[in-house]
Amino acid sequence: MRAALIVVVTGIVGGTVIALSGCTATPPQAPRADSTAPVIAPGRPGEEARTLSPGEAATAVPKPTANAADVKYVQDMIVHHQQALDMSILVPNRAASAKIKALASRITDTQGPEIQFMRTWLQEQGQRVPDHHAAHEGMPGMATPEQLDKLKAASGQAFDGQFLELMTAHHQGAIKMSELVLTGGSHIRIEELANDIAVTQLAEIRRMRQIQTSG
């Protein structure tokens, strides 16, 4: 299974259609199955893209059907996201850093709608929708109850340091989970979701590290 959406060199980059030879009112035609245009298949986070022949590209497009890996990823990610929201909700009344407050607001604005999307997707698939606070033993990046209690008891700079440490590990766990489903899943919408989560949370990890180093 490919780990990202297929990008056609002669017109589609990241989902945005671009004209390579100036402005034109004629929209570019969608690539046909018999096209000879080279196709780039981006790799998973940290991996280089590779060029596919038209024949390889036709078979590299993920199927719109779900498998067990897709379902488990979505069920687990609902619980994973909910903990990120639980931590972010603490920020306005406890954090000292305006940058951390802005980051927490971004996390809430992004992951809240993603939870709703995942719940709806599971319902469409006839699968169990987990409780937000379902068991999460072995799920990467999750904070322990003791760590959460300590975070809730902190304020000011002490809170800021704990929040950045816990949320960085939390994001790293979400990226790991996304990489696994990109390898083992089969549903195109879940592939798109996993890519979005990996890219967004990697950017937020970089932002948190900048906040930590800048004090």
73-95 burial by CB neighbour count: b if 16+ within 10 A, else e? bbbbbbbbbbbbeebbebbeebb
CATH class of 68-214: mainly alpha
The mean pLDDT value for 109-121 works out to 97
Q: Tell whether the model's pLDDT for residue 11 goes beyond 50.
A: no
In three state form, how does the secondary structure of 5-44 look? Answer: CCEECCCEECCEECCECECCCCCCCCCCCCCCCCEEECCC
Would you state the pLDDT for residue 135?
A: 65
**17-71 residue pLDDT tens:** 333 333 444 444 444 434 444 544 455 445 555 565 555 544 455 456 899 999 9
From-to residues of CATH 1.20.1260.10 in the chain: 68-214
